[in-house]
Amino acid sequence: MEYFVGIDVGASTTKAVILDKSAQILGHSVIHSGADFGAAAEDVLHKASVGLKKENLGRKIVISTGYGRRNVLFADLTKTEISCHAKGSYHYFQRAHTLIDIGGQDSKIIKIDDGGKRIGFKMNRKCAAGTGAFLEEIANRLKIKIEKLNGLAEKATKNVTIGSYCTVFTATEILTKIRQNIRVEDIVKGIFESVIKRALEMDLLEGNIVMSGGVVAHNPYFVKMCEQKLGKEIFVPPLPQLIGALGGALFALETKGGKHA
């Protein structure tokens, strides 16, 4: 058996997906990227392949993607995260749609046509607003564990507006809100709202919407807020954080002419 591997080295996390020749997921993993992207890629592959036959790992095609894609020395090819996310998203949602991916360092909006062809994309500007990094920074400032944000936002009872684009100014704005005795739950929801606004204002969002990325994977309430804002249901694929890695693995499969739909 041959394995088809996608490794997505993001600014915050590194993800791996291993497929067989019929595009079934055999293994997957997510780890923190840390400072050594090459080591993270090896580590994530090792973790994703637990339980798989070691001898088969010698027969694999690897496509790396993401911020650190060129640090994956054992990759056969690299592809941008734009292409890989589009590929992964279309695998689960085979209709024309717009993918909103909110990653650690960047947010992207990718438009995909009926046939799975990418017809346009936009990434956030050189700014953390509208990305996972913004949430991480603010969670850190509030001394809240990042995984607690979803639960807190759900308990919000008031709408709080965070007006600043800038992460640093937002921290100052939050201090003001704390001094005004505004509840942390309401502030966290305001922070979610801020990320959503920055991400959604990048492009026109018409038709079917799919969302992916770490923020989406860990914060279902965030998706619910997006649905309320857009007034429509949003499709979230299984393993939303791994869509880029899955796309890479599908491209790997494609190099062998394999089935991937």
From the list 123-131, 167-175, 218-226, 233-241, the region that binds another protein by CB under 8 A is 123-131
In the complex, minimum distance from the CB of residue 118 to another protein, in angstroms, rounded to a whole number: 6
Q: What is the DSSP letter of 153?
A: H
Furthest C-alpha separation in the chain: 62
Q: Does the footprint of another protein cover residue 158 (CB under 8 A)?
A: no
C-beta separation of 242 from 8 below 8 A = yes
Task: Reduce the DSSP state of residue 113 to 3 states and report it.
Answer: coil
Partners of 7 in beta bridges: 16, 64
The helix or strand, by DSSP H or E, that contains position 16, with its residue range, turns out to be strand 13-19
From the list 65-73, 136-144, 186-194, 216-224, the region that binds another protein by CB under 8 A is 65-73
C-beta separation of 15 from 245 below 8 A = yes
Q: In what order do the strands lie in the sheet with 209-212?
A: 118-123, 107-112, 97-102, 209-212
CB of 133 or CB of 225, closer to another protein = 133
Count of beta carbons in the 10 Å neighbourhood of residue 140:
12
Q: Convert residues 74-93 into a mask of x (bound to another protein by CB under 8 A) and - (unbound).
A: ---xxxxxxx----------
Nearest to 14 by CA among 50, 63, 67: 67
In the complex, minimum distance from the CB of residue 249 to another protein, in angstroms, rounded to a whole number: 16
Q: Does the footprint of another protein cover residue 96 (CB under 8 A)?
A: no
Q: Does the footprint of another protein cover residue 120 (CB under 8 A)?
A: yes
Q: Does the footprint of another protein cover residue 148 (CB under 8 A)?
A: no
From the list 47-55, 114-122, 151-159, 223-231, the region that binds another protein by CB under 8 A is 114-122
Alpha-carbon gap, residue 177 to 158, rounded angstroms: 13
Q: Does the footprint of another protein cover residue 59 (CB under 8 A)?
A: no
From the list 53-61, 116-124, 140-148, 177-185, the region that binds another protein by CB under 8 A is 116-124
Task: Tell me which residues touch another protein (CB under 8 A).
Answer: 67, 69-70, 77-83, 106, 117-121, 123, 125-126
